[in-house]
Amino acid sequence: MKTRTTFAASLVAAFFISTTSAKLFPAHPPEAQAKIALPIPHDVMPGSGVTISDVIGRERSINIFAGFTRDIESVSKRLEGSQNTTLLAPHNKAITRLPRKPWEDPQDYAALGQNAYDGQSGEDRAHRNLRRFVEAHVVPESPWAENQKIQTLGGDTVWWEHKDGKKLIQPGGIEVSSVPNKVANGEVWILEGARNYA
């Protein structure tokens, strides 16, 4: 009988110690806890702290453009910051159908030939061209009202309208196929085409 009582007391003590220490010392140290990522729902209520930067990498259909945004520091900071933005993200297939890479400019080839993007000066030209492409797809406004003309970060004026049951970005009549993400600092609109970046 004494061994049963001792065993039961030991079991209760072990349970008490483990639950108390679990409250005092979490299962993962704080630096490991910060690395645990929970899935983010597509439609997050504004004010939740989730930003465009948090969600664009999870949209497989726009992962090429999402990668471009990370390469442009001013855009990357905006998408992770608190400034409201409507990101006009071209679908992967729209980017692969472009007549040239977003970092290429026919004028560079005309002036410098096939080596236009060689060396440090070539990399600088390519980065400048890529920045122009990405900034042409960033509208510094959200919500963005129909027919409201806004300058993109690239400096050109855009607006959108409903026509024949479709949401179209103007100029150019580029169809918005979906708006999968609404987050604290704006929205992601997936486009069937890319804006003119020349």
Residues 6+ apart with CB under 8 A from 190: 59, 61, 62, 89, 90, 91, 176, 177, 178, 179, 180
Confidence bin at 197 (pLDDT 50/70/90): low
Digit-coded pLDDT (tens) for 80-125: 999 999 999 999 999 999 999 999 999 999 999 999 999 999 999 9
Q: For the purposes of burial, counting CB atoms within 10 Å of the CB of 147, is it exposed (0-12), middle (13-18) or buried (19 or more)?
A: exposed
Decide if pLDDT at 12 tops 60.
no
Residue 40's identity, in one-letter code, is I
pLDDT confidence of residue 17: 45
**pTM for the structure as a whole:** 0.74
Q: Give the number of other Cβ atoms within 10 Å of residue 50's Cβ.
A: 18
pLDDT confidence of residue 55: 92
Average pLDDT, the chain: 82
> Among positive and negative, which fits the CA dihedral 32, 47, 78, 162?
positive
pLDDT confidence of residue 148: 97
What beta strand segments (E) does 22-76 contain? none
Decide if pLDDT at 45 tops 90.
no
The architecture CATH gives domain 43-191: Roll (2.30)
Q: 110-126 burial by CB neighbour count: b if 16+ within 10 A, else e?
A: eeeeeebbeeeeeeebb
DSSP state of 36: -
Decide if pLDDT at 15 tops 70.
no
Digit-coded pLDDT (tens) for 111-163: 999 999 999 999 999 999 999 999 999 999 999 999 999 999 999 999 999 99
Residues 6+ apart with CB under 8 A from 137: 65, 87, 88, 89, 90, 152, 191, 194, 195
Q: Are 171 and 163 in contact (CB under 8 A)?
A: no
DSSP state of 57: T
Digit-coded pLDDT (tens) for 71-81: 999 999 999 99
